Structure 1
Amino acid sequence: MTRKLFGTDGVRGEANSGNMTAEMALRLGAAAGRYFRRDHSTRHRVVIGKDTRLSGYMFENALTAGLTSTGMNVLLLGPVPTPAVGYLTRSMRADLGIMISASHNPAKDNGIKFFGPDGFKLSDEAEAEIEALVAGEIQLAQPMNIGRAKRIDDGLGRYVEYAKTTFPARGRLSGLKVVVDCANGAAYKAAPEVLWELGCEVIPVGVAPNGLNINEKCGSTYTQTCAEAVVAHGADLGISLDGDADRVMIVDETGRVADGDQIMALFARRWAEAGTLRGGALVATVMSNLGLERFMDSLGLGLERTAVGDRYVVERMRAGGFNLGGEQSGHIVMTDFATTGDGLMAGLQFLAAMAETGQRASELVRQFETVPQMLKNVRYQAGQAPLDAENVRKVIEVSEAEIAGKGRILIRKSGTEPLIRVMAECEDEALLTRTVERIVEAVEAAAG
């Protein structure tokens, strides 16, 4: 079934335009409510969380109206990290969880992500069925069966307490100074509180959201802010989250940044040594560096690759019985602890490695030597298909022939933004640069 509304991570776009309008959110809420109602006699519930975007208020109200119109009872969590929604959906025995967030995107964007009763993101098939309901006639509840809405004041506190349980029992982080950059987003309260309660001296950054500054020159997509704070304060570690706190970048005491590949490599090695890495492999996407694959092979472990998107990583993990996976971009999925990527919990596991080994962050962040990799994005307008242009196809064909046996090329459309992502890896850096720039130039010309 073809999907037009849903991308790789729910429905996303610029607020008040396209599919990201209050009207569409209302219909999405009603369609999701109808999809998840098992019968007409029993009350059902849904939890809704959001990040700190100004448009979150509008979408929260519209979704609530749609859901209650089909008989769902709505529990409003307010600003919480995306993984908190996954956790609380399951903990509160809800039929459905919804997170209103555009993750690492700028404040003008927003998105709607759905979680099933097990706390995991919905499958492509479930999203397609909800989309079909949106396009049709939605059956509303009888007047006496309309749902209620209630604000849950302790949702964030429940998540904070659970997050601490993922850190080794009775462990403390006294003496460690940690910068945590919350991107002016959903974890601006939770992350500093968890770290402080575990004993850290916390230097909070990006904890003054105003609805318009989420991800603005801060967070995991702008690690300079965290790195500068680490160096300026003489901190032991920097934890840089994105707007909804489901991804993380780690900054060592020198200001050097470790991406998701290096973090996963550390966890995979430690878990394998402890005998807790299930399936003898790590699950990552096609974007992960070839160096990670070689590192896993050197340990006698496997690397399972999936399409881009943490939901596809999780699907492969569940199907294969793996408990560690993620993305180079910083989604670290540890299904022993969470149903989706959790930047804060990943940060806690890194701190646990520091505490248990006595090593500095700089000794842990470089697990393998990366193969030179270059990624460039080309923006295009709605309705365009630059990858279908004859010249673009010809340039890609020539480039793939030239780099064959020396590296690889990966070109794809973003599932969350109107971008063409051009990525290549190659030991020959001159060839790498030439290959990416040639393809980017052709795509830009096709996109006007």
Structure 2
Amino acid sequence: MGRLFGTDGVRGVANADLTAEMALGLSVAAAHVLAEAGTFEGHRATAVVGRDPRASGEFLEAAVVAGLASAGVDVLRVGVLPTPAVAYLTGALGADLGVMLSASHNAMPDNGVKFFARGGHKLADELEDRIEAVYDSHRHGEPWERPTGAGVGRVRSYDEGFDQYVAHLIGVLPNRLDGLKIVLDEAHGAAARVSPEAFSRAGAEVITIGAEPDGLNINDGCGSTHLDLLKAAVVEHGAALGIAHDGDADRCLAVDHTGAEIDGDQILAVLALAMRERGVLRQDTVVATVMSNLGFKLALEREGLHLVQTAVGDRYVLEEMKEHGYALGGEQSGHVIILDHATTGDGTLTGLLLAARVAETGRTLKDLTGVMERLPQVLINVPDVDRARVKTSAELAAAVAEAERELGSTGRVLLRPSGTEPLVRVMVEAADIDQARAVAGRLADVVKSALG
């Protein structure tokens, strides 16, 4: 079978691609693999299990809990909490495993299972591969080793997780948010209670939208993938800023007081300068992906900061940060990782720190984000081509070289073969939008002729 685990766990349409049987089997397999790896050695294993409010999360949570307990793992059910809260509690409670049920920004019919290792860190690829192999072998008849009697896992609700996580968030803030009016769009998702509570405790006047999850409305026309409601609400209420999360609140986008969108690059720029000022931006370096706007890179250079770029995906950002000890990284999409305080992207923490910078400086978010100018960026998807020949086509290489000469130091070209489709993405940035469109169009034509 194809690899079940993607870059962010196992995800698919709930009860079709991702069934209760699969969730149970993967959980049992994870328990066995981690036991074999020595994770549980010398003690009875404990897992933290949380979910977003999707209706399917109810039966999938039951399946995961049943699987873990049947494998001898004690389970702490923390209920509906953001993904970064489950990661945090996994570490804070000394649990051996964390499990989050969410499909993040995907539409309601989807769901997913994501595992965290001890400390709240993402499982290594080799462990995911081993879990998948053990799960597959059981599907084909290999029996589980099953504990009985007192050996089975015990299950209990851990309601303290909510306050514990909120207290953690407040404890990270360098200053309070008194005097700020903030609109929060919770995407009818996992942060619908946590985020307003944290911002309120920090002193902000909070107005919420998208904070009434019913299991069916998650990400439905709201949240970080649909910012129009937030933009209108910020202007209507005369708020200082707006914060938008996705369904599991591992990302954050913002809106300034004029209703203008603030993306992940701009948020990173503001936080980088704030962290440098406090002396916590290690090596004066920020980690981002190759999709970050060129304006972000130019802004960091002007400020004397360094940018390290990775492949697209927050997992690659995190790997680079952990390997070299960097403190701040993220993506244009709003995944921001502050490694001293979180093991994964944390949208609530990001929003709090962004608001704290506004409160601390007395400047508007529009003014703070003026440190960088987003250069026009044009993206064209070219379908039905041989993506494998992107790096070997001489015709394409010559066209890219010519485009780069034309754009000079204020432009950029990026060709990315899709990881899943016969598709090549052509991205061009330039100081002028018409030039970016013209160059992107020409390169897309060459991709068609050279790789079609």
TM-score, structure 1 as length reference: 0.89
Partner of 2:9: 10
CA positional deviation for 1:428: 4.8
1:192-211 equivalent positions in 2, closer than 5 A:
192-211=196-215
Q: In 2, are the aligned partners of 1:387 and 1:443 still within 8 Å (CA)?
A: no
Unaligned residue ranges in structure 1 (runs of 5+):
none
Name the aligned partner's letter for residue 404 of structure 1.
E
Q: Deviations for 1:347-397, whole angstroms, at most 9, x for unmatched residues?
A: 11111111211111221123211222124668x9xxx9873699xx89966
Q: Deviations for 1:183-227, whole angstroms, at most 9, x for unmatched residues?
A: 000000011111112221111010111112111111111111111
Structure 1 distance, partners of 2:56, 2:446, is 36
Greater mean alpha carbon deviation, residues 64-73 or residues 135-144:
135-144
Name the aligned partner's letter for residue 164 of structure 2.
R
Q: Residue 118 of structure 2 aligns to a residue in which SS?
A: coil
Q: In 2, are the aligned partners of 1:120 and 1:339 still within 8 Å (CA)?
A: yes
Q: 150, 155, 158: which one pairs with 1:152?
A: 158
Structure 1 distance, partners of 2:379, 2:104, is 20
Partner of 1:354: 358
2:274 is the alignment partner of 1:274: no
CA positional deviation for 1:434: 4.3
Structure 1 distance, partners of 2:425, 2:248, is 22
Name the aligned partner's letter for residue 30 of structure 1.
V
Q: 401, 411, 414: which one pairs with 1:409?
A: 414
Q: In 2, are the aligned partners of 1:10 and 1:112 still within 8 Å (CA)?
A: yes
Partner of 1:143: 148
Structure 1 distance, partners of 2:178, 2:292, is 34
Partner of 1:260: 264
CA positional deviation for 1:443: 9.6
2:283 is the alignment partner of 1:284: no
Q: In 2, are the aligned partners of 1:214 and 1:243 still within 8 Å (CA)?
A: yes
Structure 2 distance, partners of 1:76, 1:371, is 45
Structure 2 distance, partners of 1:221, 1:420, is 23
Q: For residues 52 and 444 of structure 1, do their structure 2 counterparts lie closer, same or farther at Cα, with a shift above 3 Å needed?
A: farther
Q: Residue 340 of structure 2 aligns to a residue in which SS?
A: coil
2:56 is the alignment partner of 1:52: no
Between the two proteins, the alignment pairs up a number of residues equal to: 436
Greater mean alpha carbon deviation, residues 126-135 or residues 280-289:
126-135
Partner of 2:240: 236
Partner of 1:128: 129
Q: Residue 224 of structure 2 aligns to a residue in which SS?
A: coil
2:171 is the alignment partner of 1:161: no
Fraction of identical pairs, as percent: 46
Structure 2 distance, partners of 1:48, 1:108, is 20
CA positional deviation for 1:159: 0.8
Q: Residue 68 of structure 2 aligns to a residue in which SS?
A: helix
2:349 is the alignment partner of 1:345: yes
Q: In 2, are the aligned partners of 1:249 and 1:259 still within 8 Å (CA)?
A: yes
Structure 2 distance, partners of 1:239, 1:323, is 22
CA positional deviation for 1:65: 2.0
Partner of 1:64: 65
Partner of 2:29: 31
Q: In 1, are the aligned partners of 2:169 and 2:349 still within 8 Å (CA)?
A: yes
Q: For residues 238 and 376 of structure 1, do their structure 2 counterparts lie closer, same or farther at Cα, with a shift above 3 Å needed?
A: farther
- Please give the root-mean-square deviation of Cα atoms over the aligned residues, in Å: 2.9
Partner of 2:83: 82
Q: In 2, are the aligned partners of 1:34 and 1:138 still within 8 Å (CA)?
A: no
Structure 1 distance, partners of 2:242, 2:381, is 27
Partner of 2:104: 103
CA positional deviation for 1:36: 1.9
Q: In 2, are the aligned partners of 1:167 and 1:352 still within 8 Å (CA)?
A: yes
Q: For residues 425 and 177 of structure 1, do their structure 2 counterparts lie closer, same or farther at Cα, with a shift above 3 Å needed?
A: same
Name the aligned partner's letter for residue 413 of structure 1.
S
Q: For residues 61 and 419 of structure 1, do their structure 2 counterparts lie closer, same or farther at Cα, with a shift above 3 Å needed?
A: farther
Q: Deviations for 1:277-322, whole angstroms, at most 9, x for unmatched residues?
A: 1122101111111121122222222111112222221111111011
Q: In 2, are the aligned partners of 1:230 and 1:253 still within 8 Å (CA)?
A: yes
Q: In 1, are the aligned partners of 2:387 and 2:422 still within 8 Å (CA)?
A: no
Partner of 2:19: 21
Q: In 2, are the aligned partners of 1:188 and 1:206 still within 8 Å (CA)?
A: yes
Q: Residue 163 of structure 1 aligns to a residue in which SS?
A: helix
Q: For residues 386 and 255 of structure 1, do their structure 2 counterparts lie closer, same or farther at Cα, with a shift above 3 Å needed?
A: farther
Name the aligned partner's letter for residue 387 of structure 1.
R
Q: Residue 77 of structure 1 aligns to a residue in which SS?
A: strand
2:250 is the alignment partner of 1:246: yes
After TM superposition, the runs of 4+ consecutive aligned structure 1 residues lying more than 4 A away are: 393-399, 417-422, 434-445
